Amino acid sequence: MSSTHRPPPPPPPPVPSYAGPGSPQDVPPPANSFPIDPATLPGPIRDEVLAADPIALDTSAAELKDGLNRCPKCGATDIRHKPGSDLLICQYCRNQWHGVRVEEEFGLGTGIDQLKGRVIASGARQIEADAASLMSFKCTGCGAEVTVNTESTMTARCHWCRHVFGVNEQVANGAVPDAVLPFHISKDDAVARIRQFVHKRRMFALKAFKDEFTPENVIGVYLPYMIVDGNTSVDVAGQGEIETRRYTRGSGNKKKTYYDADVYKVDRHVDFTVDDLPLESSTKRGNLDARANTNNIINTILPFDTKNAVKWNASYLAGFTSEKRDRDVSHLHPRLEDQLLSIARAQVEASVGQYNRGVRWEHERLDVHGTRWVSMYLPVWLYSYHQASSKGGLLHYIAVNGRTGETMGSVPVQQWKLILAALTVGSILEGIAIWIIGASS
């Protein structure tokens, strides 16, 4: 059964003979840090050190920097997203136009197998610690100050002259992404889906939840994600077993089955690319501890048709709330590595089908040749219910994917009802079991 296809993967690179500061064995310094205080350096060197890092993909839109999204036909600023489409519509002259798809505009769907290093789009760059969430604009219409809190919203209206402002400039607070995927599922549709979802979870639902159930309170939220393309190789090694003989010993109730098997050392290597893997880029949403929160519900409705995302324009967010990104590429990289390894393990499974007693993987190695990171706002309809308890309670979500309509939720249960039902069924089964035993003895 043994077959030789390929020599085993090369061992990890040998440890260099030198060690200490500056060697690969040293802990690397933080990004953008310099070992000497730049202020003590000569002018030209200081300027070089302090110059901004190059941004590989610039998705910021120069025409939107003053915060005013103007209709290309009449110049009005009251622009909204046309529900159910990717169109923007001018509320003044009814002109409609389509946002530019980032996929084509920035060539995001191509060349993944050629990716080398980290390519980070301008909207996904590092968040600066002192960047404020509150942004103020000077209205070009009347000169008034208009403030937008980017923690939860990306548009505002000047209360003096009614100009509508959107946060379009890619400031370093993480609020402005590279792209946005507009809502396609309407609110009525989302309400119907939530109603349907809860309808088949009524019997053991918490009474207070049922009493207060008002799916019309669903909120459209744009949540921040990093969409990652990756070019990767993975090696896995372990042992697999193939059954060679199966036999029984003993008789009657003492009869037992025994197995003989051949043990093989198994190595596998796979090169692959992933296209548009979504990762939550807010700390809150990325915490998927199902004991403490129900964020896994929102995670479940992934993925989105991110190929159709359009270049950022705050007008798409008019009437919706948003959450701000607070995680950088470096924070998300361990999670990406974990997911790439999981994908690789799924990819190699078909190649070890002959091991009918299973495979125990013992070592895995990941080589990330290149990644491309784009930040995006993705549309989610969220219905929430807070279940109070002495330990602080739990926020239950029912989420509808704003593009595909995929619905998932957490419905709080009435524990006593559920336990009573389980005990009742258990008792009936036990009664039948006792009857069978009694009848046969």
Partner 1 sequence: MSDDGGLWLLLLAGPVGATGLYWGLYRHYRNTDKSHAFERETAVEAKPVTGWDGKVDEVKGTQKTRIPGDNVREYRKRVQRVQGDSG
Which residues between 352 and 391 bind partner 1 (CB under 8 A)?
A: 352, 355, 357-371
- For the four alpha carbons of 108, 375, 89 and 308, in that order, the dihedral sign comes to positive
- The answer to whether 258 contacts partner 1 (rule: CB under 8 A) is yes
Among residues 297, 267, 292, the alpha carbon closest in space to that of 280 is found at: 297
CA distances from 417 to 206, 274, 363, 422 (A): 9, 45, 46, 9
Whole-number Å distance between alpha carbons of 243 and 261: 4
Give least dist CB 9 to partner 1, A: 8
Give least dist CB 229 to partner 1, A: 10
Give least dist CB 288 to partner 1, A: 6
Give least dist CB 235 to partner 1, A: 7
Using CB under 8 A, which residues numbered 198 to 217 contact partner 1? 201, 204-205
Contact 226, 375 (CB under 8 A): yes
Whole-number Å distance between alpha carbons of 99 and 88: 7
Give least dist CB 76 to partner 1, A: 40
Cis before 303? omega within 30: yes
In the bound state with partner 1, the residue whose beta carbon lies nearer, of 55 and 242, is: 242
- The answer to whether 219 contacts partner 1 (rule: CB under 8 A) is no
In the bound state with partner 1, the residue whose beta carbon lies nearer, of 35 and 116, is: 116
- The answer to whether 104 contacts partner 1 (rule: CB under 8 A) is no
Residue type, 134: L
Cα of 130 vs its chain's centroid, Å: 25
Using the rule CB under 8 A, which residue among 126, 186, 299, 384 binds partner 1? 299
Whole-number Å distance between alpha carbons of 123 and 117: 18
- For the four alpha carbons of 361, 365, 371 and 377, in that order, the dihedral sign comes to positive
In the bound state with partner 1, the residue whose beta carbon lies nearer, of 55 and 352, is: 352
Longest dimension (CA), the chain: 99
For 193-225, the DSSP string reads HHHHHHHTT-TTB-HHHHHT--GGG-EEEEEEE
Using the rule CB under 8 A, which residue among 86, 103, 235, 326 binds partner 1? 235
Using the rule CB under 8 A, which residue among 48, 72, 98, 259 binds partner 1? 259
Residue type, 151: E
- Candidate ranges 25-33, 58-66, 88-96, 109-117; the one touching partner 1 (CB under 8 A): 109-117
If DSSP codes are grouped into helix, strand and coil, which group holds residue 359?
strand
- Candidate ranges 120-128, 175-183, 212-220, 416-424; the one touching partner 1 (CB under 8 A): 416-424
Using the rule CB under 8 A, which residue among 83, 111, 303, 405 binds partner 1? 303
Give least dist CB 131 to partner 1, A: 26
Using the rule CB under 8 A, which residue among 238, 320, 332, 379 binds partner 1? 238
Using the rule CB under 8 A, which residue among 268, 285, 325, 403 binds partner 1? 268
- The answer to whether 405 contacts partner 1 (rule: CB under 8 A) is no
Using CB under 8 A, which residues numbered 134 to 193 contact partner 1? none
In the bound state with partner 1, the residue whose beta carbon lies nearer, of 310 and 348, is: 348
- Candidate ranges 69-77, 179-187, 188-196, 423-431; the one touching partner 1 (CB under 8 A): 423-431
- The answer to whether 24 contacts partner 1 (rule: CB under 8 A) is no
What lies within 8 Å, CB to CB, of 35 at 6+ separation is: 29
Using CB under 8 A, which residues numbered 111 to 130 contact partner 1? 112-113, 117-118
The continuous run of DSSP H or E covering 335 comes out as helix 329-348
CB atoms within 10 A of CB 288: 15
Whole-number Å distance between alpha carbons of 165 and 13: 54
Give least dist CB 82 to partner 1, A: 28
What lies within 8 Å, CB to CB, of 107 at 6+ separation is: none
Give least dist CB 421 to partner 1, A: 7
